[in-house]
Amino acid sequence: MTAGFEKHKIIIEESIGRLLSRAENARALGAGEIRPRVEKALGKYLFKDNENANAAEIRAFIDELRADDLCLVLACERGDETAWNDLVATQDKTVKAAAWKISPKAEDADDLASSIWAELYGLKHDKDGNLKSKLSYYSGRGSLGGWLRAIVAQLAIDQFRKTSKFVQVEEAREFENLANESSEKTENLAVVAHTDNPEDIFGEKQMARDVSKALGAAIQELGDEDRLLLKLYYFDDLKLKEIGQMLGFHEATASRKVVRIQTEIRKSVEKILQNQHHWSEEEVKRYLSETASKLGISLEKLVAVLIIFALVQEVLHGNVL
Amino acid sequence: MDFEFDKEIDAILRKARGDDAAALSSAHLDADDIAAFAENALPAAARGRYTAHFADCARCRKILSNAFVFNAEADAETASSAVSAPTTEAGVPWYRRLFAFPQAAYAMGAMVLLFSGFFGYLILQNLSGASNEVSYSANSATNTAAPAPERPPAAMSNSNASTSANTTTTNTPANTTFQGGSTNSAANPATNSARLSTSNTATAATPSADTLSQAESNAPVAEVQPMATPAPKPQVLDDADKNMAKVAPATPLSKDNPNAAGATRQRNERDKEESYSVDGSSDSKTSDEKAKTARAVPTQKKKRDSGAGEQRSVGGKTFNNVGGIWFDSAVGKQKQKTVRRGTSEYQKLDAGLRSIADSLGGTVVILWGGKAYRIQ
């Protein structure tokens, strides 16, 4: 990586010069102050995956950095009061807005925003006695606002994980006990048929475990992008349009991908259940069908309620049509 | 975008969301990685590496999805605030704004009011139409009953229909009986209709000679009313009119009727007045002009009147309309000779007679040269 920097030293310097010239307010920064941050970003995002990146790629990478945002952050790190004032003036609204969206209570939101600013300013000192600020992680690759929003989300989720009982999510449960958990929850009684026969109950739980494992394995067989797309869609409730924007393709493409992924998962699950768990073809089809239909009913009800709620909201806000 | 979702797998995957725990990663991504990924600002190779991490790390993916949603909302807010208000208004099509909630509600309310008003108007129209008919009937009954209060209500009510019948069937006098008499003041032409008591059972096909002569003798002049509406100036007369004008002064009424002289004199005076009222000319007008004026008035009047109970003076003669038939007030008990228009016999009649008959139109009973003619 260092070899890459030395090899393309001139290109990097030229690109940094252009970056400074691109900035509307360079905050009196010199190339020497910017170069370490630029090289860090190059190493992290470019040379790590491609040590032989050529001059054009390096030039393009640096030219795509957010010059003004990076200069502002570097000036703040340097202790420029004006830069800090500018940072607070321009980004405080962004931080608070994100905090308010992610925190259910106003007090929590204010606390979260305050925590963000404290971390940006720096609470700890490094071995040299300098304040260790989160600003040092900003590369300029994305926008400063987007980075701050990610900081807010990161801090909020980390705080939530610390205080909640969902720490086990961190553990590798691999879709454990999908149907088994469902059968234990009163509201999900419909998912798995219940009998009073202990042998039947055991059999149902075993089948649920088999399906859960097969489902997890099928998802793991997917490509990285398909897996991410699937989870963003099913687990994080992002819309196909949003997923498409994030991953760089059209909503229609995202929809086609979801359909294809479903098909692949079905095939994989059926294959795993039959080959590894020795289910018959009839058992596979019946189980998937029954489970899906029982889940589907509740989903339809949920969708109907949501539609009515949305309509009422639309009417109340005067946004009909 | 109509894609066939696998509903079974779709439902199972949705249920499996809470069980996603694949995600233990030794090194979580930092905010810069996540923000750059969310903004699609990473080089392709780095992007692939982070995609794998996000696919398996629930924590980082959660931050990613939250950051992305925040960005999207912030972009939307920025875009909406950047656009000026007038532009926003212009950006929304007028038909969309028309159907926006407040406008749509007002429009619906207005439509309801409009239709309610329309139907209410229709109902009122129907009701008022009925009441108009009732009032018209009442007026007709009053007019009919005024000179003859002894008539029973049934007869009064019948008069409504018969009156209207008379106005429309002026050439069918079969059901009419002329009731001129001492009670006739004849001051108002409208009261003449009161003298037309109609009866469906009446059999008199023609007016009674007694009643006709009585009517003439009792009120030969007063029955003739000056025209309420000034007639336009006399127009250019055709040949027949000119002939009539020549004949008119030589009305031979005095030969048959002892009262005719006085009546003629009074009629001349009345004609004189009418000529004043028509064209405002002085006494210096010639008799021809007066005759023209006298004939011009009924011509106008004919347009207005439907006939029944009306009195006209044409060619120095006074005619009463009885059931659509013009009766010369000078006609007595003479035997009537029926002549149809358009026949050779009609053409042989005196031009003055034909002119009068043509002026009046319809069936005319006229005394001419001592003979009574019934022109049909």
Q: For residue A176, what are its two tokens?
A: 């454990």
Q: Tell me if chain B has a CB within 8 Å of the CB of A319.
A: yes
- According to DSSP, residue A137 is labeled G
- Could you tell me the pLDDT band of residue A69, with boundaries at 50, 70 and 90? very high
Cα–Cα dist B361/A197, whole Å: 113
Q: Decide which of A240 and A159 is more confident.
A: A240
pLDDT at A296: 55
For A163-200, write each residue's pLDDT tens digit: 765 444 443 343 444 444 444 443 444 444 445 667 66
Residues above pLDDT 90, as percent of chain A: 36
User: Distance (Å, rounded) from C-alpha B43 to C-alpha A56?
Assistant: 13
Task: Look up residue B198 and give its DSSP letter.
Answer: B
Nearest to B19 among A176, A228, A238 (CB): A176
- Read off the pLDDT of residues B6-60 as tens digits, 9 standing for 90 and up: 777 777 777 666 555 444 445 889 999 999 999 989 998 899 889 989 988 888 9
Give the DSSP H/E element, type plus range, for residue A125: strand A124-125
Give the minimum alpha-carbon distance from B64 to chain A in angstroms, rounded to a whole number: 7
Which candidate in B5, B20, B53, B95 is best for mutational testing of the A interface (most A CBs within 10 A)? B20
Q: Give me A168's structure tokens.
A: 């086990």
A56 touches chain B (CB under 8 A): no
Q: Of the candidates B32, B69, B70, which has its C-beta nearest A139's C-beta?
A: B32
Chain B nearest C-alpha distance from A43 (Å): 11
Query: In this model, does residue A68 exceed pLDDT 50?
Result: yes
Find the CB nearest B32 among A142, A236, A248: A142
Residue of A nearest to B35 (CA): A147
What confidence score (pLDDT) does residue B350 get? 86
Alpha carbon distance B123, B118 (integer Å): 9
Give the residues across from B325 on adjacent strands. B322, B363
Condensed to tens digits (0 to 9), the pLDDT of residues A70-129 reads: 999 999 988 899 999 999 999 999 999 999 988 878 888 888 999 899 888 887 777 777
End-to-end CA distance of chain A: 57
Q: Which residues of chain B have pLDDT under 70?
A: 1-4, 15-26, 82-103, 128-308
User: Quick check: A170 contacting B, CB < 8 Å?
Assistant: yes
Q: How far apart are CA B209 and CA B219, in angstroms?
A: 15
**Collapsed DSSP state (helix, strand, coil) of residue B241:** helix
Select from B1, B5, B7, B8 the residue whose CB has the most chain A CBs within 10 Å, as the one to mutate to test that interface.
Answer: B8
Distance from CA of A25 to the nearest CA of B (A): 22
Mean pLDDT, rounded, for A214-235: 89
Token pair listed for A286: 């019946």
Helix (H) or strand (E) holding B366: strand B363-368
Query: Nearest to residue B293, comparing CAs of B310, B318, B307, B313?
Result: B313
d(CA B353, CA B243): 10
**Residue B328: what pLDDT?**
86
Assign A148 a pLDDT band (cuts: 50, 70, 90).
Answer: very high
- Kindly identify which residue of chain B lies nearest to residue A93, measuring between CA atoms: B74
B290 contacts: CB under 8 Å, gap ≥ 6? B268, B271, B272, B275
Nearest Cα to Cα of residue A118 among A146, A147, A151: A151
- Residue B320 sits at φ, ψ, to 5 deg, of -105, 135
pLDDT at B14: 73
Is A4 in CB contact (< 8 Å) with chain B? no
Q: Does A146 touch chain B (CB under 8 A)?
A: yes
Helix/strand/coil for A270: helix
Return the pLDDT at B293: 47
> How many other β-carbons are positioned within 10 Å of the β-carbon of residue B279?
18
Half-sphere exposure of B171 (CA within 13 A, CB side): 7
Nearest Cα to Cα of residue B373 among B322, B302, B325, B304: B325
Supply A205's token pair: 């739980």
- A271 CB-contact burial (10 Å; exposed 0-12 / middle 13-18 / buried 19+): middle
The verdict on B75 touching A (C-beta cutoff 8 Å) is no
Searching chain B, which residue's CA lies closest to the CA of residue A298?
A: B11
Q: Which residues of B touch A57 (CB under 8 A)?
A: 43
Using DSSP's 3-state secondary structure scheme, residue B42 falls into coil
A309 burial (CB, 10 Å; 0-12 / 13-18 / 19+) is: exposed
Please report which residue ranges of chain B form alpha helices under DSSP H.
Answer: 7-15, 31-38, 44-56, 58-82, 85-91, 94-98, 101-145, 153-168, 189-192, 209-218, 239-247, 253-256, 260-279, 287-304, 344-348, 351-360
Q: What is the pLDDT of residue A64?
A: 93
Between positions 13 and 52 of B, the ones with CB within 8 A of A are: 13-24, 30-32, 34-43, 45-46, 48-49, 51-52
